[in-house]
Structure 1
Amino acid sequence: MTTTPHPLVTRAQRLAHDLLVPQAGRVDQEGVPASHIEAVKRAGLLGVGAPKEYGGADAPVEVARETAEILAGACCSTWFVQTQHHTPVKLLATYDSPVREKLLRPLATGEVMAGIAFAHVRAFPRVLVRAVRERGGWRFEGTVPWYTGWGLNDVMLLAGVTDTAEVLFAFAEAREQPGLSPSAPMRLAALTAARTVSLELHGLWVPDEAVVLRVPQQEFALVDLPRAANASPAVFGVAYAALDLVADTPDGQEAARSLRARLDEVRREAYALADHPVPHECVPERLAVKTRAYDLMRAATTAAVVAGGGRSMALDNRAQRLAREGMFLLVQGQTAEARRTHLGSLASR
């Protein structure tokens, strides 16, 4: 953790202590309320990495990671809804486009909340969503299997694949409309609270001025592969939260100390690899460290359940909820390469 907390880290800690942790059990059962997202906005956390000239904090990546760890460990559902917002902000800040001047400032200040609908393009050459050129814009056809934050987000960053194998990213309003129909909210083993739906796209049209980026699929994959190979800060946040529970039990202090030391080491390795100056290098090493982080998270959440005894089986018990959230993080943002590495590691033991 940082020696002198950044103001955003302090705000995240206060938000976690005062709101997210006390209400996490209820949120897990009832859903992320709009008031939680408003609290994240007021804390300035939606603009953590956004440019200052657009109203953001432009905080170092270490601060973004630490605030993510805090939020995920406090209420993983709330973290998961708000974490979608940061990718559209980064994309707008990186690439010049007409929509940047329209959306980047309201996104950076939290006036507007964004979600993402593009993980499906990782299935290429299988195409789940097509982007078809039509009269000054693009029509999207297909199915978005997962879209999180429905009813909480104002806009979505949507991606489709063109007939020339380009990945096209564009913004659309996150609401039911001609050409866009959401499913009923999904019932999941964990993070049902994050309001995840699938989206049927049957001719959703967006104008050219809503397009952020068109990039060849191979180029997108080259950038996406190392990013998806990095360990998520949420994994460390959930693991540390679980170890805090273990340390608070009479029989768990030694186990907590041992697991925390190992987790600290993997965390340092993971973030050092994520900061490598050549992003597409060291992918096998990134995946190996990511798998070790998963192992330690699983050990930490299991230890919390064991330390809690029979009480851990109550649906409102924090240890049990952290174990389910950890299970979710094992597959969140999963790629085929990450899955092969993880399964290979499990098979070799």
Structure 2
Amino acid sequence: MAVAPHPLVSAARSLAEDVLAPNAARVDQEGVPVSHVEALRRAGLLGVSAPEEYGGAGAPDAVAREIAEILAGACCSTWFVQTQHHTPVRLLARAELPVRERLLRPLATGELMAGIAFAHVRAFPRVPVRARAERGGWRFDGTVPWYTGWGLNDVMLLAGVTEADEVVFAFTDAREQPGLRPSPPMRLAALTAARTVTLELDGLWLPDESVVLRTPQKEFALVDRPRNTNASPAVFGVAEAALRVLDEAGETRTAHGLRGRLDEVRRQAYELAEHPVPHERIEERLTLKTRAYDLMRAATTAAIVAGSGRALRLDGTAQRLAREGMFLLVQGQTSDVRRAHLAALAQI
């Protein structure tokens, strides 16, 4: 007997088919509109992993992964904007500080949209953003190299590193303010639509009440490392979208062969993602991650080949998926991931 899909998976499929995919080419050229964020909120997708007692769905990680695949395959720019939101929600759900009661419910219900400004912490021992205790709060100075969703997000989760190598995570409004100045939106080869900017911090002061976590850098690295060694659901989503392009072009034999290999890598990768000890079997995780990259690259390349010259039109699905795939090769990249990926490529 078939098991009915989770209601949020069904909602994601409807949103992808009715709104995201039909508008993906336009969004790619013009940017993610506020209406897409509103549609995500109405569908309940911004609270997929949030606690039920705060208005979220409390759905299992497997459901969140399936939703991510669906959204990324339909419109990777929209997926990338909304995926930033879920990390602050999860962090708040584990916190026992005043900021939890102020922000978790509006973020879980989608009343507010959050972005993240802490990927630079992975550059340690280089410290792009320094945090210093000052006047009952924290002063942040430096440069956030990448911040996605500018103009769409309401709040951001910002991190800086202290002189004692402690990482301080705090919330602030996602707007220009004293001590915080955004660059113009970046023009990128892919996902320009996600509204990514650089943030210049010059004495941005945030009160202690905005802090959600303080942790030694070594402990942050221990917890953070496994997150990026797992294969991203977005990679599988973009690959599946490319295989659908092949099906529509009548290249079912090629699509079938790639889909079988993709399904097996997905199965293995998701089994590891559910492993109870996230920092174990790192090499195996990295191997599966690079295999997923290889299959995504093969699928998007095949979609372009099948489409011939017309695949290169800016309104063509195949070239957009290929550029989105290129973006996913470096999204959330760490030195471990980069070394493993380059080593795998050297053996082709």
The interval holding the TM-score normalised by the smaller chain is: over 0.9
2:340 is matched with: 341
Size of the alignment, in residue pairs?
347
Could you tell me how far apart the structure 1 residues matched to 2:42 and 2:162 are?
Answer: 39
2:55 is matched with: 55
| RMSD after superposition | 0.7
Could you tell me how far apart the structure 1 residues matched to 2:96 and 2:329 are?
Answer: 34
1:125 is matched with: 125
Establish whether residue 320 from structure 1 lines up as the match of residue 319 from structure 2. yes
1:270 is matched with: 269
> Which residue identity lines up with residue 347 of structure 2 in the other structure?
S
1:179 is matched with: 179
Query: What pairs up with 1:112-151 in 2 under 5 angstroms?
Result: 112-151=112-151
Establish whether residue 282 from structure 1 lines up as the match of residue 289 from structure 2. no
**Cα deviations by residue, 1:33-85 (Å, 9 ceiling, x for unpaired):** 00011001100000000000000000111110001000000000000000000
Pairwise CA distance, 1:136: 0.5
SS of residue matched to 2:20: helix
> Which residue identity lines up with residue 295 of structure 2 in the other structure?
L
Query: What pairs up with 1:1-349 in 2 under 5 angstroms?
Result: 3-250=3-250, 252-349=251-348
> Which residue identity lines up with residue 140 of structure 2 in the other structure?
F
Pairwise CA distance, 1:228: 1.0
SS of residue matched to 1:58: coil
Could you tell me how far apart the structure 1 residues matched to 2:261 and 2:217 are?
Answer: 38
Q: Report the more deviating stretch, 339-348 or 2-11.
A: 2-11
**Cα deviations by residue, 1:251-302 (Å, 9 ceiling, x for unpaired):** x100000000000000011111111111111111111100000000000000
Could you tell me how far apart the structure 1 residues matched to 2:3 and 2:191 are?
Answer: 32
SS of residue matched to 1:198: strand
Could you tell me how far apart the structure 2 residues matched to 1:3 and 1:327 are?
Answer: 35
**Cα deviations by residue, 1:73-130 (Å, 9 ceiling, x for unpaired):** 0000000000000000000001211100000000000000000000000000000000
> Which residue identity lines up with residue 65 of structure 1 in the other structure?
R
Pairwise CA distance, 1:3: 4.1
> Which residue identity lines up with residue 275 of structure 2 in the other structure?
H
Could you tell me how far apart the structure 1 residues matched to 2:282 and 2:73 are?
Answer: 26
SS of residue matched to 1:116: strand
Runs of 4+ residues deviating >3 angstroms: none
Pairwise CA distance, 1:343: 0.3
Could you tell me how far apart the structure 1 residues matched to 2:11 and 2:125 are?
Answer: 43
Could you tell me how far apart the structure 1 residues matched to 2:200 and 2:3 are?
Answer: 47
Could you tell me how far apart the structure 2 residues matched to 1:311 and 1:348 are?
Answer: 32
Could you tell me how far apart the structure 2 residues matched to 1:176 and 1:339 are?
Answer: 33
SS of residue matched to 1:85: helix
Could you tell me how far apart the structure 2 residues matched to 1:76 and 1:41 are?
Answer: 17
Could you tell me how far apart the structure 2 residues matched to 1:242 and 1:203 are?
Answer: 46
Q: Provide TM-score, normalisation by structure 1.
A: 0.99
Could you tell me how far apart the structure 1 residues matched to 2:60 and 2:37 are?
Answer: 22
Could you tell me how far apart the structure 2 residues matched to 1:41 and 1:194 are?
Answer: 17
Identity %: 75
> Which residue identity lines up with residue 199 of structure 1 in the other structure?
L
SS of residue matched to 1:84: helix
Could you tell me how far apart the structure 1 residues matched to 2:130 and 2:274 are?
Answer: 33
Could you tell me how far apart the structure 1 residues matched to 2:312 and 2:127 are?
Answer: 41
